[in-house]
Amino acid sequence: MTALGFVVLAVAGALVRAEAAQRFNAPTWPWGTLGVNVAGSFALGLLAGSGNPVMTAVGVGALGSLTTLSAFAVELTTLGRRRAAAYLAVSLALGLAAAAGGLAVSD
């Protein structure tokens, strides 16, 4: 049952990420990917702090596919050096802050 939940949630996360990228990414800045990465970091922080065993299926399945590194990496290569550096810095800062916020809220 856990494996089925993992697969279903992974597919759902991937579809949400793809839709967000399709709707909100601009040629000059990938807003959709940034948004799902920050939201996913917050949600994973919440789950990690809760100690809930469902975290495996939800955290790794849905959030893992929602916040995929491959989309982030491809976008970095298409932005040019300065924008890529800014996007990397903003993504790391917001992602870490969101994860810390999720952990703090879950306590």
Closest by Cα among 91, 86, 89 to 71: 91
Question: Can you tell me the distance from the alpha carbon of 92 to that of 86, in angstroms, rounded to the nearest whole number?
Answer: 10
**pLDDT higher for 65 or 19?**
19
101: which 2 tokens? 């916020």
Condensed to tens digits (0 to 9), the pLDDT of residues 23-70 reads: 999 989 999 999 999 999 999 888 888 877 777 667 777 888 888 888
pTM over 0.85: yes
Neighbours of 96 (CB within 10 A): 13
* 66 within 8 A of 10, measured Cβ to Cβ: no
Closest by Cα among 47, 62, 57 to 103: 47
